[in-house]
Structure 1
Amino acid sequence: MEHTTQPDDPVRIYPLIADSGNRRVLGKWLADHETYVAVDDHPITEADIDLCIVDGEGLRRHRDDLESVKNEARPTLLPVLLLLSERDAEIIATDRSEIADNVLMSTVDEVVSLPMRQAELEWRIGALLRLRSQSLELDAKTKKLRQFREAVEASGHAIFITDPDGRLTYVNPAFESVTGYDAEEVIGETPALLNSGEMSETYYEKLWETIEAGETWEAEIVDRRKDGELYTAYQTIAPIADDEVRAFVAVQTDITEHKQLRDRLKRHRDIIQQLEDPIMLQDDEGRFELVNEALCEFAGLSASELAGRDEYLFMDDEAAETIERRKSEALDTGEPVRYSISPEFERSGKEAVFRTSRYPYYNETDELVGTFAICRDVTDLEERTRQLRVLDNILRHNLRNDLTVIRGLADRIRTESSGETAETAERIVSHADDLMTTGEKSRSITELLGEEPEIKRIDIASLARSVAEGIGAERPAALIDVDVPERATAETTFKFREAMEELIKNAIDHSDRETPSIEIRILATGDTVEVRVVDDGPGIPAVERDVLVTGRAIDDLYHGSGLGLWLVYWIVEQSDGSIDVTDAEPRGTEIEIRLPRVEDDDAVE
């Protein structure tokens, strides 16, 4: 039980007076003093009091409750004043008395003989209350010191205290953990045992100049642990002083990992700022949080002007609306999105074509809070692609027209002649067909490389069955065996059908058997969908294997299948897949394509 009396609070006195005359006199006395209040409307074990006044009979009746109340109040003092008349003097006259032995010494703090003057009673009460106030103050300070000690001991920061000469007098457990030194090893030493040699003499001169002037020092420091490892800490040193400095207390926060992260972030930020492609981080409302100089240049605004705004501030509405839709898509699906835009920058007057990759952005608690975008400026590339498309269209148009004329003439010669002339004409027709097929494949490659790939979830198993059925109907002489699971969903381009068709047709066209045999196997394992096309033909030349596996340039492709293999390579490459080519047993070739596997939901053929 505790009660701390405030300056304006009356003193709360609990009277345990059995004698009615004494109670009446005490009650009148309390009523005449506004600074005292009688509290006797609760049992003493429940009352909030500063002082208890008892007489002999009250002590006898309530000795157990009094002892309980005083014990509960410890370590603070709850004083008890005993008013003792001459007829009750035997209570303290003998040391054999039960009251004297068991109660008086442990329960009563002051004894007053009755009758007595009011001034003396007031003086006695005041003396007891001063003792109580002192005990309350001492208890409060003790608790603060205990709490401070517990806080220091439990702190995750290294804390140490030195004397005025800088010798260690105390270190907490965190100091031992951070530095590797036990307290017994460092007490009496100076913090110089942590000196790493990384800090200049000027640093320490300024440190001592500051703390000896009675001021607090705050700065980063590089120290050395017991095992020799360097660590970086943010250090605060403060003097403890009255009229003079009595000690210094230092707090070190180990920021080694934080500093390493900060340095990495600075390097990354510097790299991002130097890139010529716009890069930005936006929150889930589309507001800019981070932009690089390239974006500022296109926008015609500074980073501070862009902060908290969106694309509508500096871009035409159509392009801004496209970006807004794609941001929403990335936030809704939690998946990266890729798209191309050609915005008009109204403030800077610039125009550009961008291929943008926008990624969902998660904070440190893995909460989706925005998007991060990298915009590759492909303006020059788009222009070169356009020029190549024009050239490609012209060449293919002229080639197709001329080949059509050549094929027609050769076919006429073949039908109107015989012998070697007819055979030569037949070869001309065949080569003309091959060249026209090459032209069509060239067109497919041009379209593939000239457009941003559209990646979708495709059921490769269903696609394989469909492709096999179509080619089987077109080329009934071939045996096509399909062994696929019910579903096998991968992320790939819509053009993957062309890749499968090309591999199967190529195997049939270059087979040396009357009945070519093709096996299509699909296996979905872990994060991969494996597509295997196995034939029983003469094998694929090494130069064409290089095209499929590495995409390296080739010099001497002598038939249209060369460009077809290039088409397969680029389709798989744009699908973030890979290809292996091995010999089949007992003969033939096995081509294995690995694609990124995804969940079966919402897959298309």
Structure 2
Amino acid sequence: MEWPGRAEALLEHARDKIVVLDEEGTFRYLNQATADILGFDPEELLGENAFEYIHPDDRERVRSRFERVVAGREDRGTIEYRHRSSDGSYLWIESRIAELTDPETGYIVSSRDITERVRAERERDETADRLEELAAKADDVLWMFSADWSDVLFLNAAYERVYGQPAEGVRADPQRFLDAIHPEDRPTVRDAMARLSAGESVDMEYRVNPRQDYSRWVWVQAEPIFEAGEVVRIVGFTRDVTDRQRRERQLRVIDTILRHNLRNDLNTVIGHAEYVSEHPEDDPPAHAEVIHRTAQELLHKAEKQRRTIELLTEPVTPCRIDVTTAIEDAVAAVENHYPDAEIETDLPQSLAVCAIGEIGTAIRELLGNAAKHADEAPAWIRVTAVQVDGRAVVEIEDTCPQIPDYEYRVLTGEQAIDGVTHTSGLGLWLVYWVIDLSNGTISFETDDDGNTVTVSLPLATSEQ
């Protein structure tokens, strides 16, 4: 094909591959960039069909597009495909097809090598896919919000498990995630949100998950993302640290109660031993009896502490347990120890719950406390078990003196345990931890007539 001299000079020095094809796709002209890009001498390809050099998987798509342009059914535009080079490898090419002024002359196709761009896009897509896969499988909640918290830009699947509310609802209304946060912690979280929007980093812990009575503790680290000096996004992660919080609290409890019991009981032992030493004439056997009884009680407390530590340190998994049978066994054990106690029961024939094996021990501890602390003999206790809203609810009523509010406020976390405010022993803590490890809850009601302890446990599923 002949071109005017100036036009041919421009075509030969063009960086893009420029060819002219007839209606069948036969090469009628190729510029020098053909050699630079594909490695073919332009003379080699003259008279060859262009579609034979296109990757088999792309060939029909490109041919169909060319035929539509020839037929006048499609305007010029770009198309991407793989083109064979002189060494047999394939390069990614982006081409634009246009009809020359004289249709009989042919169709001009300008092309450029986009192999590096396609490779970079693929690597980026593969990286994005890997990140998506990691995010989907991550135990941590990974999230991204707009700077004003009005849009959820990213939220992985772990959100619902940790926060206890559907991710779809938060995507529709981002402020709804505050509903998943313990009401007492929401002001602190709102303050942290404002600080992030203002450009500060945040590292904090708070309680979440209304489905589990806000009993889950999470650790959150978040950072503002800046563009041109302004906060445009906020990214962070949330990690469930409930087990760590539980262990730390357990250590504080055991340490406090151990020091309290040792101090009180050993003061009793030392006091009586010193008195006997100083007054040997004043009935030593009576003082020896006090020392012996106190030592026995201390040994009993040590054994209970050992059982508690075993419970807390050995792996436990909730399983299917008939709570009716557990209650009946606990009642029998307490009646054997306190034969005068009057224990009434109103129980279903069976009620399967998902709990750890020590749930019977916890119920026996609660019944034993009621029988032990009754002001008047015989002790009266009533135990019921019912199914309510998909959970098993066990109630233990007694006519004992009111349980001091600090006893159960410390248990439920409403009041911190310290050297002044603590429960009287490990018994109630053992109960609390068994129920907690069973994903249950415990609550207390007291009045002048006595106490009611309510234990709520998840029902067993058909698979358990």
User: What TM-score, normalized by structure 1, do the two folds share?
Assistant: 0.33
Which has the larger Rg?
A: 1
| Greater relative CO (CA pairs within 8 A, separation 6+) | 2
User: What TM-score, normalized by structure 2, do the two folds share?
Assistant: 0.41
